[in-house]
Amino acid sequence: MDTNFDVIIIGLGAAGSAAAYHLARGNKRVLGIDRFRPPHVFGSSHGESRIIRQAYFESPMYVPFVQAAMGAWLELEQISGEKLFVKSKSLTLGNAASTVIQGVLYSAEQYNLKHQYLDCGQIRQIFPALKPTADTVAVLEEEAGLLLPEACIRTHLDLAARAGAVLHFDEQVMSIKANGSGVDVTTSTGRYGAGQVIVSAGAWVSELLPDLKLPLSVERRVVHWFKNTKADDLRFLPDKLPVYIWEYKPGQMFYGFPDLGNGIKIASTKKGATGNPDQLNRKVDPAEVEALAEIVRNYFNLDAIHAQASVCMYTNTPDEHFIIDRHPFHENIIVASPCSGHGFKFSSMVGQLLSQMASGVDPDIDLQPFRLDRFNS
């Protein structure tokens, strides 16, 4: 058994790769293990792009968190020289009373975030690619855009390895056992020991920690790319079309991205089937394509053909907030599930928080809302 590590990280996707980077930079002896070779298409962090926005309609409590995460992404870009962030702005659309418009305005006001309120005429004029109905309004945010998730993960892992982290790919963790002073980890090919373990296994976190009986559900989600038939149409490029979230009917939303070269990427927030991550249906039904094609016809001035689709997983908590906490019975085990379909943007900062927890340093962000004991009742 190799016991030469301060921290073992299980799962090197969005959160785990960032934790490996911060811990290795802090001179910890780190072993990172992943059952695949990240970035890969089998978890929750693939598919070209992830939205990052600050005026968080879900809750203002995320604003300082996302601002810190944005700073961490920009710093990572600077250190690595890699392109990780595309500043395309962010547009939230809905009717004036919709959850998203009210939520974005509330967060923007609470934190004094720069934003612009647009009526339907202004939306049509500034964003000719969009076809809003007469009652649609929008909030435009400048300091927002998209992250390139595959590049983000690859960069965190490359820099972690350069700083001395040992990374094992294509090796599956089978069990995690706390001993008196540390934790033993058994994988498909070996056994390892460390003072602490971070479990950042995304959709598989519940099966690795069965004693916790986590109230998580793993949900299938599909994203689609539609290719513009007019090659000289510039209205869908990142400097013309922001990332957007659009509540087009009460409680019904779609979101999407400008064209990065493969077409505009768009997805519905309609609930998908839940189940075991290893039995995820990765085939996309023609009815799923048609549902999105109808949205494209109704809400965009775009003559497009469906180019491709990709299946991904949300890992949902009952309240859709994250889990970042210590195991209640084994304090050497740290659990991180930046999940529920909105976690990528935060993962640069989640890595830093996990590194601080494992190093005995007070975390920079208040982690109270992300504790496990909120599920006890």
Ligand X SMILES: Cc1cc2nc3c(=O)[nH]c(=O)nc-3n(C[C@H](O)[C@H](O)[C@H](O)COP(=O)(O)OP(=O)(O)OC[C@H]3O[C@@H](n4cnc5c(N)ncnc54)[C@H](O)[C@@H]3O)c2cc1C
Footprint of ligand X (CB under 6 A): 10-16, 33-36, 38, 43-45, 50-51, 172-173, 200-202, 204, 208, 221, 223, 267, 312-314, 337-339, 341-345
Q: What's the CA gap between 317 and 343, in Å, rounded? A: 12
Residue pointed to by tokens 């908590």? 317
The secondary structure of the chain in percent helix, strand, coil, rounded to multiples of 5, reads 30, 30, 40
Q: How far is the CB of 123 from ligand X (least distance, A)?
A: 21
Residue with smaller CB distance to ligand X, 122 or 310: 310
Alpha-carbon Rg for the chain, nearest whole angstrom, is 21
CA distance 117 to 38: 40
Instruction: Locate 153 and state its tokens.
Output: 């993960």
- The residue at minimum Cβ distance from ligand X is 13
Residue among 140 and 153 whose Cβ is closer to ligand X: 153
Q: Minimum distance between the CB of residue 46 and ligand X, rounded to whole angstroms?
A: 8
Residue from 331, 325, 302 nearest 375 by CA: 325
Task: Give the nearer residue to ligand X in terms of CB position, either 135 or 319.
Answer: 319
Nearer to ligand X, 50 or 133 (CB): 50
User: Smaller CB distance to ligand X: residue 122 or 217?
Assistant: 217
SS3 51: strand
Q: How far is the CB of 15 from ligand X (least distance, A)?
A: 4
Helices (H), 32-163: 63-80, 99-110, 120-126, 149-162
Which helix H or strand E contains 377, and what residues bound it? none
Question: Which H, E and C letters describe 307-319, residue by residue?
Answer: EEEEEEEEEECCC
Smallest distance, ligand X to C-beta of residue 56, A = 10
Least Å distance, CB 120 to ligand X, is: 25
In the complex, minimum distance from the CB of residue 26 to ligand X, in angstroms, rounded to a whole number = 20
Nearer to ligand X, 22 or 345 (CB): 345
